[in-house]
């Protein structure tokens, strides 16, 4: 049986290449950019007014900056979307709105609040500096300026920036397409009534949500009993339609655990089976070309913890998020000893204690069949064989989200 770090290393060496796709801007939020993106147009697109007011020539209003009032003749208007079709000459002014194109001849804007207009006459008593209240074409950036770095997760403002440039499709990482196959003759859909010897399939919906939360996409979800032919058929369909195949259950040592054999029949080669860990000892991972197959143990806790620790990082990597696993540090609020011969993914609850210290409280019941050991927790620690933590020890926690 291999260790957790050996399993991780094998998986890391077998990762497929991330794939690019070009998608429409309206679907790109939350996706990771594949290449740098550059400006196509200057920003602002044209020189315009930063205020509602009057476009003037600085030479005409400069005396107002020294306390000498000046009078100008109003010529017309430049509205946002309807530019003034003429030139502002000496002694002249044009009414202008915020964002409206600055008329030819003008080189300053006087805000409404700093002048008085009566009829066609404008009286200006205050002026500050040349070029005041003007946004110049290209002052933010010019064409070819890099706007967004590759590997950035696109947020609403990135999307707006690209929209302002008329960029309608963006190159992003394509999320891995995942096929889930839930095995077990004892299972019924969670919305059906089980007979006394049956249970509801809770892994199917759990893994579906976990795929989406881990930045993957669902290709298919199938449910099969513990039947060899059905399992082979399901694996074949999954391998045709997805980049990653995930089995729930059927990877242990019982006579009805058929996934390993079915995977081999479909051409998947074993990367490893069984890891010195709890939960999730029977974890099975295989590969066929660039496709990975994960056989997660059926116990819901094992399935989830193996998914979180082994599958989520692969999905995140393929979606462009890199390989780092987020960890936070905290302080044990009690002692904790690993007396098993396997490393443990020990579920814990982190809570903000006094003085801003994050307290780490182990969840008492850690059974692989007890989903509350996960639902009551908000992270887990990797506890090596023989490791003994004392109250007050600093530990690294892998948060659930």
Binding region for ligand AMP (CB under 6 A): 182, 184, 186-187, 199, 201-204, 248-250, 252, 297-300
Residue 397 binding: pick among Mg ion, ligand AMP, none (C-beta 5-8 Å cut-off by kind): none
CA pair distance 100, 79, nearest whole angstrom: 5
Please count the residues of this chain forming the interface with Mg ion, following the rule CB under 5 A. Answer: 4
φ and ψ at residue 321, rounded to 5 degrees: -90, 5
State the minimum distance, in angstroms, from the CB of residue 248 to ligand AMP: 5
State the minimum distance, in angstroms, from the CB of residue 181 to Mg ion: 12
Q: Which residue is nearest to ligand AMP (CB)?
A: 298
Nearer to ligand AMP, 297 or 330 (CB): 297
State the minimum distance, in angstroms, from the CB of residue 184 to Mg ion: 4
Query: Minimal CA–CA distance to 290: which of 11, 34, 17?
Result: 17
Nearer to Mg ion, 283 or 397 (CB): 283
204 near Mg ion, judged by CB under 5 A:
no
Query: Minimal CA–CA distance to 19: which of 276, 291, 252?
Result: 291
State the minimum distance, in angstroms, from the CB of residue 257 to ligand AMP: 6
CA pair distance 229, 222, nearest whole angstrom: 14
CA 306 to chain centre: 21
Contact 361, 378 (CB under 8 A): no
State the minimum distance, in angstroms, from the CB of residue 184 to ligand AMP: 4
Nearer to ligand AMP, 202 or 378 (CB): 202
The one-character DSSP state at 18 is P
- Sign of torsion over alpha carbons 224, 229, 235, 240: negative
State the minimum distance, in angstroms, from the CB of residue 183 to ligand AMP: 6
Nearer to ligand AMP, 181 or 242 (CB): 181
Residue 199 binding: pick among Mg ion, ligand AMP, none (C-beta 5-8 Å cut-off by kind): ligand AMP
184 near Mg ion, judged by CB under 5 A:
yes
280 near Mg ion, judged by CB under 5 A:
no
What secondary structure does DSSP assign to 166-196, as a single string? T--EEEEEPPPEEEEEEE-TTEE-TTS---T
Residue 182 binding: pick among ligand AMP, Mg ion, none (C-beta 5-8 Å cut-off by kind): ligand AMP
What secondary structure does DSSP assign to 138-160, as a single string? TSSB-TT-EEE-TTPBP-HHHHH
Nearer to ligand AMP, 101 or 223 (CB): 223
| Through-space distance between the first and last CA atoms of the chain, rounded to whole angstroms | 30
Binding to Mg ion, residues 287-316 (CB under 5 A): 298
Task: List 358's β-bridge partners, or say none.
Answer: 352
Nearer to ligand AMP, 47 or 202 (CB): 202
Nearer to Mg ion, 212 or 370 (CB): 370
Binding to Mg ion, residues 240-259 (CB under 5 A): 249-250
Q: How far is CA 55 from CA 9, 130, 195, 319, in A?
A: 67, 12, 81, 50
State the minimum distance, in angstroms, from the CB of residue 251 to ligand AMP: 6
Nearer to ligand AMP, 28 or 182 (CB): 182
Contact 142, 45 (CB under 8 A): no
State the minimum distance, in angstroms, from the CB of residue 307 to Mg ion: 17
State the minimum distance, in angstroms, from the CB of residue 162 to ligand AMP: 42
Contact 38, 145 (CB under 8 A): yes
Per-residue burial over 313-332, b if 16 or more Cβ lie within 10 Å, else e, is bbbbbbbbbeeeeeeeebeb
Residue 279 binding: pick among Mg ion, ligand AMP, none (C-beta 5-8 Å cut-off by kind): none
Query: Minimal CA–CA distance to 399: which of 334, 312, 320, 337?
Result: 312
CA 229 to chain centre: 39
Residue 220 binding: pick among Mg ion, ligand AMP, none (C-beta 5-8 Å cut-off by kind): none
Max alpha carbon distance in the chain (Å)?
Answer: 100
Residue 297 binding: pick among Mg ion, ligand AMP, none (C-beta 5-8 Å cut-off by kind): ligand AMP
Nearer to ligand AMP, 14 or 208 (CB): 208
Residues near Mg ion (CB under 5 A) are 184, 249-250, 298
């Amino acid at each position: 049986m291999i260790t957790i770090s050996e399993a991780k290393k094998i998986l890391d060496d077998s990762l497929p290449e991330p794939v690019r796709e070009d998608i429409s801007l309206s679907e790109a939020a939350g996706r990771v950019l594949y290449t740098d993106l550059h400006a196509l147009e200057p920003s602002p697109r044209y020189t315009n007014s930063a205020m509602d007011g009057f476009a003037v020539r600085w030479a005409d209003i400069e005396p107002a900056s020294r306390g000498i009032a000046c009078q100008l003749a109003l010529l017309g208007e430049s509205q946002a979307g309807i530019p003034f079709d003429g030139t502002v000459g000496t002694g002249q002014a044009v009414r202008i709105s915020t964002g409206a194109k600055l008329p030819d001849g003008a080189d300053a804007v006087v805000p409404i609040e700093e002048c008085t207009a009566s009829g066609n006459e404008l009286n200006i008593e205050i002026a500050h500096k040349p070029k005041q209240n003007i946004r110049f074409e290209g002052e933010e950036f010019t064409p070819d300026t890099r706007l967004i770095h590759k590997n950035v997760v696109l947020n609403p403002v990135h999307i707006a920036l690209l929209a302002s440039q008329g960029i309608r499709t963006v190159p992003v990482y394509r999320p891995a397409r995942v096929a889930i196959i839930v095995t077990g003759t004892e299972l019924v859909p969670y919305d059906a009534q089980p007979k006394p010897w049956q249970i509801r399939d809770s892994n199917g919906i759990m893994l579906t949500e976990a795929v989406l939360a881990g930045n993957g996409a669902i290709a298919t979800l199938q449910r099969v009993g513990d039947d060899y032919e059905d399992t082979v058929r399901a694996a074949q369909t999954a391998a045709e339609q997805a980049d990653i195949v995930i089995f729930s259950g059927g990877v242990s040592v019982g006579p009805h655990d058929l996934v390993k054999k079915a995977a081999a029949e479909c051409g998947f080669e074993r990367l490893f089976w069984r890891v010195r860990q709890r939960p999730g000892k029977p974890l099975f991972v295989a590969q066929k070309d660039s496709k990975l197959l994960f056989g997660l143990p059926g116990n819901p806790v094992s399935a989830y913890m193996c998914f979180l620790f082994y599958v989520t990082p692969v999905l995140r990597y393929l979606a462009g998020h890199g390989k780092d696993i987020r960890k936070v540090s905290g302080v044990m609020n009690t002692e904790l000893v690993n007396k098993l011969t396997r490393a443990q993914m020990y579920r814990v609850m982190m809570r903000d204690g006094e003085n801003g210290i994050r307290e780490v409280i182990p969840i008492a019941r850690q059974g692989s069949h007890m989903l509350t050991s996960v639902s009551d927790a908000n992270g887990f620690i990797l506890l090596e064989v023989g490791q003994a933590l004392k109250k007050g020890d600093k530990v690294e926690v892998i948060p659930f989200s």
